[in-house]
Amino acid sequence: MGYGQSISPKDWEKIQQNSNYLIGMGTADNLDDARQMAESDLAGKIQTNVQSRFDYVINQQNKGKQVSSDAKMKNIIRSYTAVTLNNVSEYIAKQKPKFVVYRYIKNSEVRAMFKRRMEMAKKWAREAAEREKELKIGDALQDYYWALALLRSCPDGDLEALDGNEKMLPEVFNRVKDILGKVKVNAVSSEQSGNQQRVTLEFTYGGQPTTNFNYRLCNGKTDDPKKPFDSSYSGEIYSAKDGTGELLLPAGAKLTSLKVVAEYEFREEANIHPELSSVLDCTDPVPFNAAVLNVDTKNCATNSQYVMEIASSGGSRRSNGTPQQAQQASSTSSASTNAVGGILTLNAQEATPYINTMKAIEQGISQRSYSGLQGHFTPEGWKMFESLISYGDAKLLRSPQVEFSRDREQVVCRSFPMSFTFKGNRRTFTEDVVFYLDAQAKITEVAFGLEQAAVNDILCRDQWSADARNVMVHFLETYKTAYALKRWDYINTIFSNEALIITGSVVKATGKQEMGPAKVQHVKYTRQTKEEYMASLKRCFQSNEYINIHFADNIVRRSNNNQNIYGIQIKQDYFSSSYGDTGYLFLLIDFADPNAPLIHVRTWQPDKDPNVRDGRIGITDFML
């Protein structure tokens, strides 16, 4: 961080005499060391200024049974000085024989920093409440815990109220504890495979499948409140999707006392928020004993054989949508029928050739024998399948309950539940794999399916044609899968040569492009050309063992001026072997040719922008 010297010695004397400033001094043989000493001294002054207001964090081990922490003041203040003291000024008093540097800040700015942090905590707490309603329990735990961490790093954080209700800090703490108490884990099946035992799990919240949930294997527990789980608990993070997850255990391991630990800190995902990441690094975690979940194994089937089941129309879809959507999704008939929002499904007779293909694929995946499968694929489909089974340690989770539906000239098979483990990074993802088949029942494409709630949300938009809805689902699934399978060539084809690509929260004007920002206030952050973006993406693919993207909270709107252009706002969770973040993606897509969609605009923002309607960049922010 650079500091300019813009005041005179006389003005500096006035500042030194002004009690509204906090001042730190550093003396050293070189400028950098003097600056570091001045910053450290300033941190000490801030600490002295606010320490009495942090007594509830530092001195009380369990205030009202709400917080347990021995966080030290210097660590909390460090989270500010390292990240958020952006309005610190500098005065260099001497340069010879030693540098004498002062760094100073107004008391009001320190208070403003605390206020900004508490407002961020409120935002995350509100979003967590929404995620909980949507059964996105992994997201809800993350957002509540991040809010809790920020509150604990603020003076008077225990006095702050949320929307005029009860005190926010105990409320957020209790919400995490209550959510964990409502999560139930059941072992569905167990299978021995070599020197491993694979257990398929079902996660529910209030009796409903959780849309997402993250967890680790727990092998024990200690009495140390700072370290509630012993060192033998698994460092591998598992991710459940639509209620389904797994565990990998040593062969012959007993399941009677099986436990998992809910992930709620999400330190990796916090990297995109430097301030939050600094808080998590500088303060001790809040332990929740309720995070240790007992796995119910009484109905666990052992040595299960995989036998694919053909669902009645809509039967395989677990609807997380409205009751009306659920009713639509469960309708059955012996003929082609409307499974969800007018999308045609196939009856048993129509599906016969496709069933034969998928049974062969199921057998090959479950037995890990792929040599005889190539004849069931087109050349491009086989290339994608090879990438799929090479994407980590790929396994079939359980017997698929599949459903076949029509997407224009193709047939779609949903869904094969699979897990993908990356031992080098101790990460396991659960995905519903979707297969696209042509009229000859050959597989043309494989994709990682969207969360079921997202699929239902798009398919139930009756104001759009069935083709338009199918194209939208197909595109989003293909798009996110292309990043996981590192399909650089495909991604290169779907971006317009003049695409507007923005990294940041608002849009910067770029001149005579196909699309441009419509509002003057959206002038900020960084634009990349397509060439720059694709070059960066190639480096990312080369340097990461894996990439995995989860989409949620999709909002799709069609242009009033051009019926072929759609704007998609979607929350994106991005994971890779070297980096993770959560943010908001916007894509402006031309579907004039459904077989070759074209992206005109791609923006990504790490957080919602208060200057943009609903906080997210959308289709109304661009002139078409």
Tens of pLDDT, residue by residue over 371-387, are 889 999 999 999 999 99
Given this model, what pLDDT does residue 610 score? 66
Tens of pLDDT, residues 25-82: 999 999 999 998 998 888 778 777 766 555 544 444 344 334 333 345 556 666 665 5
305-485 fold: Nuclear Transport Factor 2; Chain: A, (3.10.450)
The model's pTM is: 0.71
Using CA atoms of 506, 509, 514, 519 in order, give the dihedral in degrees to the nearest 10. Answer: 60
- Token reading at 237: 């993070």
Q: Where are the domains of the chain?
A: 9-111, 305-485, 487-624
CB 306 within 8 A of CB 418: no
Give the DSSP H/E element, type plus range, for residue 16: helix 9-16
When the candidates are 3.20.20.480, 3.40.50.720, 3.30.70.790, 3.10.450.50, the CATH number that belongs to 487-624 is 3.10.450.50
DSSP per position, 539-557: HHHHH-S-EEEEEEEEEEE
Torsion of CA 157, 160, 162, 164, to 10 degrees: 170
pLDDT tens digits for range 523-563: 345 788 899 999 999 999 999 888 988 887 788 888 888 88
Residue in the block written with tokens 């309708």? 331
> Quick one: pLDDT at residue 167?
76
- The CB-side HSE value for 495 (13 A sphere, CA atoms) comes to 22
Mean pLDDT of the chain: 79
Strands (E), 449-529: 495-503, 516-517, 526-528
What mean pLDDT comes out for the span 285-300? 91
Q: What is the pLDDT of residues 204-232, one digit of tens each?
A: 999 999 999 999 998 765 444 444 444 44
Alpha-carbon distance of 205 to 226, in angstroms, equals 28
At 384, the amino acid letter reads M
The secondary structure element, H or E, covering residue 431 is strand 427-437
CATH code given to domain 9-111:
3.10.28.20
Q: How confident is the model at residue 436 (pLDDT cuts 50, 70, 90)?
A: very high
In sign, the C-alpha dihedral spanning 122, 125, 129, 130 is positive
Of 304 and 135, the one with more pLDDT: 135
Q: Do domains 9-111 and 487-624 have the same CATH topology?
A: no
